[in-house]
A and B are shown apart, each in its own frame.
Chain A
Amino acid sequence: MAEVLVFVDHVDGAVRKPTLELLTLARRIGEPVAVALGAGAENTAAALAEHGAVKVLTHDASEYADYLVVPKVDALQAAVEAVSPAAVLVPSSAEGKEIAARLALRIGSGIITDATDIEAGDEGPVATQSVFAASFTTKSRVSKGTPVITVKPNSAAVEAAPAAGAVEALAVTFSAQATGTKVTGRTPRESTGRPELTEAAIVVSGGRGVNGAENFALIESLADSLGAAVGASRAAVDAGWYPHTNQVGQTGKSVSPQLYIANGISGAIQHRAGMQTSKTIVAVNKDAEAPIFDLVDYGVVGDLFDVVPQLTEEINTRKG
């Protein structure tokens, strides 16, 4: 069976969920071979083996942390040359897409980004994408070279599928470009203790109607009652009420959770682009004419300052 390379997104050896989802998709088209780079790379092996990786290629060097993107491209290219895979799958983070694009160009292959599903096809893997603010679904293939596909979080279930997960050292020679862009400082983001926005099963968002940074505490309380991530519309972010890293929409994150709760969000195209593929959509808004109500499974026309606290309290009561 053909091997499929999976680029591992991990933090000091802790594998992030989208990578495990990639292993599920990789198993549909071949045998997953994982590539883990940087500090803690070898510690990823157990989790990757548990979810179907037959091999884990690892390499650590200070270049991965000290320089932007290119060292990882060099390593992934070395892995492609060592394995000759049927496809290369990369998580669709900002960095993941940049790594994938440069790799594709180097190995003379087409690239598909932001896939939401992958199936085996007669002419190679077929990728599903959601385009034009999720108003169309396309099916595409790479027609030249080894398909390089980046996949959005929440595109597949994480499945246990124990495999050997044998760790092998990857030999990497860095290119002249590898040290072109130096990372001179890094400030880790403070953890909120909430799930990652793009990976969360439930997202609770606030918009213009939240009317002030201090009122986002209401949104956060509701989120915490459901174990959800917090999102914000562009209007709320532009007003300085919530950080840009939490923005949902065309210029922020695109999310596809099981449940999306929009509070005080009108539902402009900009916002819909980032949440329209959510499984269940719920909205609370004062304006009965707000376009968000065209998308909802359940909507409450009312003041979020009344509805949201009541909802939070009711959830906490029911949870006992």
Chain B
Amino acid sequence: MSLRIVVTVKYVPDATGDRHFADDLTVDRDDVDGLLSELDEYAVEQALQISENSDDDVEITVLTVGPEDAKDALRKALSMGADKAIHVEDDDLHGTDAIGTSLVLAKAIEKAGYDLVISGLASTDGTMGVVPALLAERLGVPQVTLLSEVSVEDGTVKGRRDGDAASEQLEASLPAVVSVTDQSGEARYPSFKGIMAAKKKPVESWDLSDLDLEAEEVGLEGAWTAVDSATERPARTAGTIVKDEGEGGKQLAEFLAGQKFI
């Protein structure tokens, strides 16, 4: 038996950097250093753990859609231990929204061949968290999402989804789309050996024509949503800061009473 896992990852601007918008109101990906979205590391980690716990012959492919620099995200995932990578890159992809991204990913996943797709819970830039559900819808396979625990055995994926009201045990047959949370288990650091090995692992580059997609189906023009304005939030006005000299709690209570919270 073999198990083909495709892990979708995103290259995002560093959240500790000065993130902002470009003139066309897309996320500026040139001015700010990028990296593999932290939440996608958990997806790579779970793929590796599934592989380590399996008697099957498991192959892990990491897939990203993004500009040239997005290769850095793939390289990181390969150095963690993934087997190969696919980079979908095309100038016409600039400005693609979540619906469009799910189209490109679904086409690439189908072309690559898969039994299991694993995603993070959301990207750290767009933070929508809808791509896994969209992939399941497009691929016509079960969605087993927001898992804090995941296992694969005998063609079945099981997992625990912790919701606000309840914790649910889920089960579905493969092929399926899974997303994992940051509670699923700490992601490993690439070892020196892993970093060296990653340099020799294959990275395929595909463009829209490789996926039988037309430019107008993606990009800013093909987006089904439009951003009309982006305004920097004004800095909060400086507040009152007091040093506790023994009455700090009472002073704070006085402030809260003044604001009618008490």
Are A111 and B165 also in contact (CB < 8 A) when A69-B133, A180-B172, A311-B253 are? no
Q: Which residues of A contact B250 (CB under 8 A)?
A: 310-311, 314
Residue in chain B with minimal CB distance to A109: B224
Is there an interface contact between A186 and B168, defined as CB atoms closer than 8 Å? yes
What are the interface flags for A173-196 relative to B under an 8 Å C-beta threshold, 1 for contact and 0 otherwise? 000010011111111110000001
Q: Which residues A195-229 have CB closer than 8 A to chain B?
A: 196, 198, 202, 226
Q: Which residues B1-36 have CB closer than 8 A to chain A?
A: 15-16, 19-21, 25
Which of A133, A145, A259 meets B15, CB within 8 Å?
A133
Q: Which residues of A contact B141 (CB under 8 A)?
A: 180
Q: Which residues of A contact B169 (CB under 8 A)?
A: 183-186
Which of B142, B164, B232, B240 meets A297, CB within 8 Å?
B240
Is there an interface contact between A186 and B228, defined as CB atoms closer than 8 Å? no
One of B87-95, B200-208, B241-249 contacting the partner: B241-249
What are the interface flags for B136-175 relative to A under an 8 Å C-beta threshold, 1 for contact and 0 otherwise? 1110111111101000000000100111111111111100
Is there an interface contact between A189 and B255, defined as CB atoms closer than 8 Å? no
Residue in chain A with minimal CB distance to B130: A101
Residue count of chain A within 8 Å CB distance of chain B: 92
Is there an interface contact between A295 and B236, defined as CB atoms closer than 8 Å? yes
Q: Which residues of A contact B97 (CB under 8 A)?
A: 110
Is there an interface contact between B231 and A251, defined as CB atoms closer than 8 Å? no
Is there an interface contact between A181 and B225, defined as CB atoms closer than 8 Å? no
A27 proximal to B (CB < 8 A): no
CB distance from B107 to the nearest CB of A (A): 14
Are A110 and B20 also in contact (CB < 8 A) when A97-B129, A135-B233, A226-B261 are? no
A106 proximal to B (CB < 8 A): yes
Is there an interface contact between B248 and A307, defined as CB atoms closer than 8 Å? yes
Is there an interface contact between B244 and A300, defined as CB atoms closer than 8 Å? yes
Q: How far is the CA of A198 from the CA of B173 in the complex (A)?
A: 34
CB distance from A271 to the nearest CB of B (A): 12
Q: How far is the CA of A172 from the CA of B161 in the complex (A)?
A: 26
Which of A135, A189, A294 meets B167, CB within 8 Å?
A189
Kindly list the 4 A-B residue pairs having the minimum CB-CB distance in the complex, ordered from nearest: A302-B244, A310-B249, A110-B224, A180-B142
Q: Which residues of A contact B (CB under 8 A)?
A: 11, 68-70, 73, 93-95, 97-98, 100-102, 104-106, 109-114, 126, 130-145, 177, 180-189, 196, 198, 202, 226, 244-245, 250-251, 258-259, 269-270, 273, 276, 280-282, 284, 288, 293-303, 306-315, 318-319
Q: Which residues of B contact A (CB under 8 A)?
A: 15-16, 19-21, 25, 39, 97-99, 102, 121, 124-125, 127-130, 132-134, 136-138, 140-146, 148, 158, 161-173, 176, 181-183, 223-233, 235-236, 239-244, 246-253, 255-257, 259, 261-262
| Sample (22) of A-B pairs whose CB atoms are under 8 Å apart | A69-B133, A73-B137, A94-B129, A94-B164, A101-B98, A180-B142, A180-B143, A180-B173, A181-B172, A186-B169, A226-B262, A250-B124, A276-B233, A296-B236, A300-B242, A301-B241, A302-B244, A302-B248, A306-B246, A310-B248, A311-B249, A315-B262
